[in-house]
Structure 1
Amino acid sequence: MSTQFFAKTSTEINLFQGYPSFDQLTRDEAEKIQVSLLSPCGRFMALATAETVHVFTGVEFTQSLLRVSLKDVYDLHFSPSGNFLSTWERPSISEPDHKNVKIWELNVETPSETPRYAYQAKMQNGWALQFSKLDNFALKQFDREVRIVKIDSADNATFNFSKPYSKLVPEQPISSFLISPSEFPTICTFSPEKSGKPAILSIYSIAEGVTEKKIATKTFFKADSCQLKWNLQGNAVLCMAITDFDSSNKSYYGENTLYLLSFQGANGTLGGKSVRVPLSKEGPIHDFTWSPTSRQFGVIYGYMPATITFFDLKGNVVHSLPEQPKNTMLFSPTGRYILIAGFGNLQGSVEILDRHDKFRCITKFDAANTSVCKWSPGGEFILTATTSPRLRVDNGLKIWHVTGTLCFVKEYKELLKVDWRHQISSKLNKSHVIKFQETSTEDSFSDPKLGKIEVEVHDSATEYLSKRQKKNGASSGASSKPAGAYRPPHARRAGGAPSVPGAAIRNAKVVPGTVGVVPGVSGKDSKAAAKNRKKRENNKNEPSPGAEALTVDETAQPKVNKEASPEEKKIRSLLKKLRAIEALKLKQASGETLEDTQILKIQSEDKVAKELDFLGWKSDGAQ
C-alpha cells in the first residue's frame, strides 16, 4: 500500500508513507496548528495557524502553493475536485459587516492571495458553499431560495450570485439541501413539518433560469430535521427524518424514520420513486450507509442489541444479520467488504463481512476506545484511532489489515485528527493544472478466504502486542484466588479475618437438615431433623451427605428444605440472628459506633441462646 495517511497534533503533522515501511515525515510548526485538512483529490493539504493559512502540495507536501495572512481561521473546506479552498474566520464583534468566509482558487499555476469570493456566515454550521463533483456548479441558500452559479474556469471562476445560472424556490421553506455527487448533478431539498403541514423531501434537476422540475418527492410527518446521504451514482438518496422528542418516551434522541428516493435515467427521464424503508424493530437508527456500487445500502437500527439489515434500491430486504451490539457500518471502497463495529459506549468489537460470500464473517478483532475508523482508499487496510477531545487518554492510531492483523501502531500524548490521503482520479486529472505523480500505486491483494496473504507486521505493532500481553499476564497473576460467588461480610470475616480480642464467638453447631457447619458453633441434630434427613436420603438414593456438605461461610444462608419441620425453621431463624449479633460485636470491638437498635440486638444474645437450648440445640460450651 503506497497510500499515505496523516496524523495531526496541536503543534505538528505526521505524514506516513504507508505499508510496509510506514516511514514518517514530521512537519514541526512553530505556531499552534488550529485546523488542518486534506483535499478529496489528494493534491493539497491546508493548515491554519493563528495568523496564516498555508496550502502545500507535492508527494510529501513539501511544496508551498499558497500562503495568506488570515487571523482566527477555525474551519476549512475543499471542493470535491480540490479546485477551491474555503476558509471560515471567527466573526468579529468590532466589524459587524466583516466577510468571514473566503474562497481561494487553487487550480491555477500561481494562486492569488486575493480571495475569489467572500461573504458573511456567522454560524459555523452549514457555512460552506456546496460544489458539484466537477466543481462546475456552486450552491448557496438565500432565505427561501437556493441560487446556483455555473463556474467557468475560462471566465476566471466568477461567483456572481446576484445573477445566478438558476434559482430553486420550493413551495415550503427548506432547512437543508444537498447536491448529488454525479457528473450531471441533481439537488435534494428538505422542508420540515410546520404549522400542521407535512415535511417535504424532493429531488430537483438543475435547469437554466428556474429549477422547478421535481424528479421525485415524498411527504410525511414526524420530521423536525433530517440527515441526507446520496449514493455515488447520484440516482438515489437516503433521508433520516428526526424529531426532537420521542412521543413514546423511550428515547432521549427523538424518533427516527428512514426514507428512500430514487430515479432512473438522466435527471429522472425514466421516472422516480419514493418509499419509506421498512425497519422491523423499534428504536433509533444508529447508522446507515451506501455501498460504493450504489445498488445497496445497510442500516443499523433498534434498541440494543441492534438489528443490521441490507436493502436494495427499491427498499426490499436483501439480508439481515443476527441482533448484536453494533452501531457503525462502513463499506470498503470496492464494495466487497463490510465493516460493522460497536464504538462509542460499546466495547469496540469489529467484524469484517464478505459481501460476495453471503455476508460471511471473515475476521474479528477488538479496537477499544475507537473514535475514528476509516478504510484505506484501496480497501485493504483499516485505520482506527483514539483522538482528543473525544478521549484524552490512550491517544494513538492503528493500521489493521482486512484479515484482522494489526500492522502498525503509533501512540500520542494528544492526537487531534487522522485521515487517509486519497489518490487523484485519472478522470479528473485532465482538468487539473496542479498535478503530481505518485511514486507507486496501491498493490492489489489476494482474497482473504484463499489464504494467500502474508502480511508484514511493523515493529511498532509487535512491541505494542508484547506490552499488552505482559500487562494482562501481570494483572491476571496478581491474585491467586479464583473469581467466585459473592461472600457476605460476616462470612468473609469468619473465614479469613483474625479473631478480635474480647469478641465472644460461640462454638460451632450443626444446622438441622444439613451437614454444613456454622462458623464457631457445634452441636447435635434434633431428633426431628435427623429423622427427616434419613427419610430424604432413602427416597432419593443419594450418596453420603458428607459429599455435598455446604458450609455457611461459603453461602449467604443455608438452603431451606421443603420438608423441614417448624422446629428446624425456628432454629435457622435464631441462628441467623446469632450470626448477625456476632457481626455487630466484631464491629463494636473494632471501634465502630453502633446505633441503639444494634446495641439492643447484641444484648438479646442470651435470650436467643436460651431459645436454641429449649429447641434441642445443645452447645458443647461457650468461650
Structure 2
Amino acid sequence: MSTQLFAKTSTEINLFQGYPSFDELTRDEAETIQVSLLSPCGRFMALATADAVQIFTGMEFSNRLLRVALKDVYDMQFSPSGNFLSTWERPSIAEPDHKNVKIWDLNVETPPEVPRYAYQAKVQSGWVLQFSKLDNFALKQFGKEIRIVKLDGEESTFNFDKPYSKLVPEQPISSFLISPAEFPTICTFSPEKSGKPAVLSIYAIAEGVTDKKIASKTFFKADSCQLKWNQQGNAVLCVAITDFDSSNKSYYGENTLYLLSFQGVNGALGGKSVRVPLSKEGPIHDFTWSPTSRQFGVIYGYMPATITFFDLRGNVVHSLPEQPKNTMLFSPSGRYILIAGFGNLQGSVEVLDRHDKFNCISKFDAANTSVCKWSPGGEFILTATTSPRLRVDNGLKIWHVSGTLCFVKEYKELLKIDWRHKVSQNLEKSHVIAKNEDPASDNFSDPKLGKIEVKIHPSVLEYNAKRQKNGSSDGAKDKPTGAYRPPHARRAGGAASVPGAAVKPSQRVIPGMAPPPGAVPGVAKESKAAAKNKKKRESKKKETTPDATQPDADSQAANQPRVNKEASPEEKKIRSLLKKLRAIESLKQKLAAGESLEDTQLLKIQTEDKVCKELEFLGWKNEDAQ
C-alpha cells in the first residue's frame, strides 16, 4: 500500500492515495462527525458522531469493524499498537456514577459491543490510560500511587484492584510517562513543594512493588514539566517549567532542561542524570529526539533563537547560527532535520542533512502553517493550515525533501490532516495481530538526494497560476528578509517596516537652531513658553526695524550654526545646553505660578548663568539679549 493522507472538513472526509497520483476518496457522513482519529499503526479509523462510535478498517477504510451506541463522545485515543480504543464521553449530571471512559478491544475477529473496562473521569485532561509500546502493560494513577496491570492474553482484564505492580513514590507526583521500549520503564515527576526540591526519577517495572530507581535528579524551580522518551526507551528529556519568571524577562516562566539516561535492560549497567547546558537565556521553543535515539536537538533563547544538538551525555555535537526558528522535526530515519519558524514567525523552512555536517539541502516558505509532519517514508513533508487555528487560506501542501512543491489542495475549512502510516503486508488481509508484534515497526529509509526528477501534480500548476494572478507566488525561492528584528522595532519612527532597511530614529527640531537634514519644518511641536518667547522676539524686532518686514537671512544664518549630516562636537554641546535652558525656563515659570519645587529643581535653576556663559563661549548668541 502506498502512503495515504487523511483529511477532514466540516462536510466531508478525504483519503488521498499519495504520491504521485494523489487520487481522492470522499465519504459523505462527515457533516455529523464530532471526532475522527487514525490509529498509530494505520489499521483503523475511528469516527464519533452524536449518538455512535464507528471503527473502520481496510485499504480504503471501507469495512466497518464495530459500531457502538455512545452519546456525546468528545475525545478518543488509540493505544500505541492499535489494539485498544479509549473513548471519553461528556459526564452526565443525571447519573453521578456514570462511567464515561470506556476501553474497547479491537484485536479480535469480531470485537464485542461491550467495553473491556470502564471508569469515571470528569476532567478531559489526563483521562486516558497509558499503554506500553506492545500494549502488554496499562497504567493508571490512583491518588499518590500508580497501579500497573499486565495484559498478556485475551482473557486478561483491567483489574486495577489486584494490579501486577504498584509504584508509590516518596513525594506526590503530578505526571508520569511510560517508555516506548519492549521492557518498559516509568519516569515520574514530583513538583517542588513546601521547600522540598522537585524530583525526577526512572523506575523499573517489577512484579509486586516497583521501587527500584534506575536514575534520579533533584532540582528547584519546577512547578510542572514536559517529558519525552527516545525511541529506544533508555533516555528521557524533561523541561522543568516555573509559573513565573523571577527575573521578569518572560511571561512564560523559566525553563530548564534535564537529561536522564541508563544502560542495559532496566538500568542493569547504571544510570546518569545531567542538566543540559544551554548557552543562552530565554524559553525553550522545541526539543526533540532523533529516531536513532543517540542525539537530540533543542531550539531555545530569545529570538533569534539558538539551535544546538546534543549527544546522550549532554555534550554539544553541533550548533547552528542564531535564526528565527521554533520548530524542529527529524525524518523517520534521522538523516534529515527540518527546522522552521511557524506561529508568529514568517514560516521559512530549511532541511538539513545530518550525514553531511548539517548542511542545508533545501529551503522553502510555508507561511501560516499550523500542521507540519514528515511522511512515514521520510521523502515528503506535509504542511497545512487548519481551522480553528486559522480560518482563512485553509489547505494542505506536500513538499519533496528537495524543496519541490508536489501537491496542493485548498479547502474552505480544513479541520484535521494526518498521514496514514504504512500497513504491513500481513495486515492487509486481516486486522488481527499478535500481542507481541509491533505493526508500526517497519523500517523506512530516507531517499538519497542526487539527480531527482520529482513529478509535480497538476494542482500545483493551477495553484501557482492563481497566485501569480493575484500578485503573489509560493515556492522554494528565498525572499530578501534582511536581518531579524523583533516586532516592536519594525515600525520605529512611524514608518512602515522595510525588510533589510535600517531603522531611523525620529528627529525633532530644536528651537534656536537650523532644522536637521530631512526634517519637515513645522512638524516639531513647540511648548507654550517657547511660542510666547517667539512672539515677544518678533514684536521687538518690528519695533527696532519698522521698515523691514522680515529679518535679514544673512544675519540669521550667522547667528545659527548649520547642522551638517554629521554634527560637530560643538553643535552637539549647544543642543544639550539649549535643552537644559528650556528646562530651567519651564521650572522658573512653575515657581512664578506658586508651585512647590524640589531641592534638585531649585539647584537646577541656579545653574542658569553657568549654562548661558557656556553657550556664549561656544559662539551662541541669545536673541532676547539683542
Aligned ranges 1:19-98 → 2 under 5 Å: 19-29=19-29, 31-98=31-98
Q: 2-side partners of 1:28 and 1:328: how far apart?
A: 35
SS in 2 for 1:249: coil
Residue 580, structure 1, aligned to residue 522, structure 2: yes
Q: 1-side partners of 2:196 and 2:426: how far apart?
A: 44
2:551 maps to which residue? 612
Cα pair distance change 1:81/1:573, threshold 3 Å: closer
- Which stretch shifts more, 598-607 or 202-211? 598-607
Residue 103, structure 1, aligned to residue 103, structure 2: yes
Residue 447, structure 1, aligned to residue 448, structure 2: yes
Cα pair distance change 1:17/1:442, threshold 3 Å: farther
Cα pair distance change 1:425/1:228, threshold 3 Å: farther
Q: Are 1:8 and 1:418, in contact at CA under 8 Å, matched by a contact in 2?
A: yes
After TM superposition, give the deviation of residue 322 of structure 1 in Å: 0.4
SS in 1 for 2:551: helix
Cα root mean square deviation, aligned: 3.5
Aligned ranges 1:150-189 → 2 under 5 Å: 150-155=150-155, 157-189=156-188
Q: 1-side partners of 2:280 and 2:518: how far apart?
A: 49
- Which stretch shifts more, 207-216 or 21-30? 21-30
Q: Are 1:331 and 1:338, in contact at CA under 8 Å, matched by a contact in 2?
A: yes
SS in 1 for 2:94: coil
- Which stretch shifts more, 219-228 or 87-96? 87-96
Per-residue CA deviation, residues 29-74 of structure 1 (Å, 9 max, x unaligned), is 1642111110001100001111111110000001000111111101
After TM superposition, give the deviation of residue 154 of structure 1 in Å: 3.5
Residue 370, structure 1, aligned to residue 309, structure 2: no
What percentage of aligned pairs have identical amino acids? 78
After TM superposition, give the deviation of residue 11 of structure 1 in Å: 2.8
Q: 2-side partners of 1:344 and 1:557: how far apart?
A: 35
SS in 1 for 2:418: strand
After TM superposition, give the deviation of residue 152 of structure 1 in Å: 2.4
Aligned ranges 1:317-328 → 2 under 5 Å: 317-328=316-327
After TM superposition, give the deviation of residue 598 of structure 1 in Å: 9.8
Q: Are 2:8 and 2:14, in contact at CA under 8 Å, matched by a contact in 1?
A: yes
Q: 1-side partners of 2:78 and 2:517: how far apart?
A: 78
Structure 2: gaps (5+ residues): 474-490, 495-505, 543-547, 558-626
The letter of the residue matching 2:20 is P
Cα pair distance change 1:430/1:165, threshold 3 Å: farther
1:216 maps to which residue? 215
1:5 maps to which residue? 5
Q: Are 1:12 and 1:33, in contact at CA under 8 Å, matched by a contact in 2?
A: no
Cα pair distance change 1:432/1:216, threshold 3 Å: farther
- Which stretch shifts more, 461-470 or 158-167? 461-470
SS in 1 for 2:96: coil
- Which stretch shifts more, 571-580 or 404-413? 571-580
1:382 maps to which residue? 381
SS in 1 for 2:172: coil
Q: 2-side partners of 1:432 and 1:577: how far apart?
A: 77
Cα pair distance change 1:431/1:240, threshold 3 Å: farther
Q: 1-side partners of 2:421 and 2:329: how far apart?
A: 17
- Which stretch shifts more, 277-286 or 1-10? 1-10
Q: 1-side partners of 2:269 and 2:427: how far apart?
A: 28
Aligned ranges 1:402-417 → 2 under 5 Å: 402-417=401-416
Cα pair distance change 1:317/1:610, threshold 3 Å: same
Q: 2-side partners of 1:270 and 1:8: how far apart?
A: 48
SS in 1 for 2:66: strand
1:564 maps to which residue? none
Q: Are 1:571 and 1:615, in contact at CA under 8 Å, matched by a contact in 2?
A: no
SS in 2 for 1:167: strand
- Report the TM-score when normalising by structure 1: 0.77
After TM superposition, give the deviation of residue 461 of structure 1 in Å: 1.2
Cα pair distance change 1:431/1:185, threshold 3 Å: farther
Q: 2-side partners of 1:313 and 1:576: how far apart?
A: 58
The letter of the residue matching 1:270 is L
Q: Are 1:16 and 1:22, in contact at CA under 8 Å, matched by a contact in 2?
A: yes
Q: 1-side partners of 2:302 and 2:30: how far apart?
A: 48
Cα pair distance change 1:465/1:604, threshold 3 Å: farther
Q: Are 2:378 and 2:444, in contact at CA under 8 Å, matched by a contact in 1?
A: no
2:193 maps to which residue? 194
After TM superposition, give the deviation of residue 287 of structure 1 in Å: 0.3
Aligned ranges 1:136-535 → 2 under 5 Å: 136-155=136-155, 157-424=156-423, 433=432, 446-448=447-449, 450=450, 452-472=451-471
After TM superposition, give the deviation of residue 13 of structure 1 in Å: 1.1
The letter of the residue matching 1:447 is K
After TM superposition, give the deviation of residue 580 of structure 1 in Å: 3.0
Cα pair distance change 1:429/1:457, threshold 3 Å: closer
Per-residue CA deviation, residues 548-567 of structure 1 (Å, 9 max, x unaligned), is xxxxxxxx99999xxxxxxx
After TM superposition, give the deviation of residue 610 of structure 1 in Å: 3.3
SS in 2 for 1:447: coil
The letter of the residue matching 1:610 is T
After TM superposition, give the deviation of residue 471 of structure 1 in Å: 2.1
After TM superposition, give the deviation of residue 612 of structure 1 in Å: 3.1
Q: Are 1:147 and 1:166, in contact at CA under 8 Å, matched by a contact in 2?
A: yes
2:577 maps to which residue? none
- Report the TM-score when normalising by structure 2: 0.76
After TM superposition, give the deviation of residue 162 of structure 1 in Å: 0.5
Shift >6 Å, 4+ stretches: 426-431, 441-445, 556-560, 573-578, 597-609
SS in 2 for 1:314: coil
The letter of the residue matching 1:40 is P
Cα pair distance change 1:377/1:605, threshold 3 Å: farther
1:133 maps to which residue? 133
After TM superposition, give the deviation of residue 153 of structure 1 in Å: 2.2
Per-residue CA deviation, residues 574-599 of structure 1 (Å, 9 max, x unaligned), is 99999539x99xxxxxxxxxx9x999
2:588 maps to which residue? none
Q: 1-side partners of 2:90 and 2:464: how far apart?
A: 44
After TM superposition, give the deviation of residue 210 of structure 1 in Å: 0.5
The letter of the residue matching 2:26 is T
Cα pair distance change 1:605/1:576, threshold 3 Å: farther
Q: Are 1:10 and 1:34, in contact at CA under 8 Å, matched by a contact in 2?
A: no
Cα pair distance change 1:573/1:53, threshold 3 Å: closer
The letter of the residue matching 1:137 is F
Q: Are 1:306 and 1:326, in contact at CA under 8 Å, matched by a contact in 2?
A: yes
The letter of the residue matching 1:249 is N
Per-residue CA deviation, residues 71-128 of structure 1 (Å, 9 max, x unaligned), is 1101010001100000001111121111110010111000111111100011111110
Q: Are 1:216 and 1:273, in contact at CA under 8 Å, matched by a contact in 2?
A: yes
Residue 15, structure 1, aligned to residue 47, structure 2: no
After TM superposition, give the deviation of residue 273 of structure 1 in Å: 0.4
Cα pair distance change 1:124/1:574, threshold 3 Å: closer
SS in 1 for 2:166: strand
Cα pair distance change 1:142/1:570, threshold 3 Å: closer
Q: Are 2:335 and 2:446, in contact at CA under 8 Å, matched by a contact in 1?
A: no
Structure 1: gaps (5+ residues): 475-485, 490-555, 561-568, 585-594, 619-623
Per-residue CA deviation, residues 179-199 of structure 1 (Å, 9 max, x unaligned), is 000111010000111000111
- Which stretch shifts more, 458-467 or 391-400? 458-467
1:519 maps to which residue? none
The letter of the residue matching 2:448 is D
Q: Are 2:352 and 2:359, in contact at CA under 8 Å, matched by a contact in 1?
A: yes
Q: 2-side partners of 1:289 and 1:98: how far apart?
A: 39
